Amino acid sequence: MFEMDWQALIDSRDVLLSGMLITLQITAVAILFGLAWGTVLAIFSLSTHRALRIFTQAYVSLFRSIPLVMLLLWFFLIVPQLLKALFNLPSTIDLRLISALTAYSLLEAAFFCEIIRAGIASLPRGQLQAGHALGMTSGQTLRHVILPQAFRAMVPLALTQCIVIFQDTSLVYVIALGDFFRRVTAIGERDGNIVPMLIVAGVAYWAITTMLIAITNGVRTRLAK
């Protein structure tokens, strides 16, 4: 039961690689979109307009309070139907990946918003006044003075969140998307060696996560100098 069929693993390398590419694709899109939209939300949270602050608070509270598995299932049921209705797409198109990308991106934006907002809040209050004293507008001060310093302060936390995103991608298993974890378990069930294949999956996630942690620690050490 626990004997590993190495030949079957080698023969399945292309399938596993394509699954890992999907995992990395979800991770990359969630990070890029999450940072972009999270930055906008962080700016909204500091806006003088009450409506923008309320919207940001409601958005962050909503997405941070919903379990990721539930969010994935919601988007899996809603997004494909919405896209097919808007663009008249044929029913044969599999939109599970788009559903997953949408769910992860919107969720991570809420977490990055809080990280960026904390980075901005950690800066001295005089930074904004200093920008105005140099003749900059509020927007220019935010873009050229506040955000660069906030991003530098939040880098360690942001990198840690990126590691969490990579690990959480395995939850797309619930919508039957063929990511790395899904394909590992499918091969294990097919060949009757599910436990060894789960160990292989664990080793793969451990190796990549260890590398990301090393990068995070290196960046943190460099920023501390």
Mind listing the pLDDT tens digit of every residue in the chain (225 residues)?
566 667 767 777 888 899 999 999 999 999 999 999 998 998 888 888 899 999 999 999 999 998 889 899 888 888 777 777 776 766 666 678 888 998 999 999 999 999 888 887 777 766 666 666 666 766 677 777 777 777 777 888 888 899 999 999 999 988 888 899 999 998 888 877 888 888 888 999 999 999 988 888 887 787 666
Which CATH code fits 6-224?
1.10.3720.10
pLDDT for 29:
94
Q: Among 175, 28, 30, 170, which residue's Cα sits nearest to residue 96?
A: 175
Give the residue extent of every domain in the chain: 6-224
Contact 41, 62 (CB under 8 A): no
What pTM value is reported for the model? Answer: 0.84
d(CA 219, CA 43): 25
Measuring CA to CA, how many Å separate 26 from each of 151, 163, 169, 187?
23, 12, 7, 21
Residue whose C-alpha is closest to residue 28's, from 96, 79, 104: 104
| 67-90 tens-digit pLDDT | 889 899 888 888 777 777 776 766
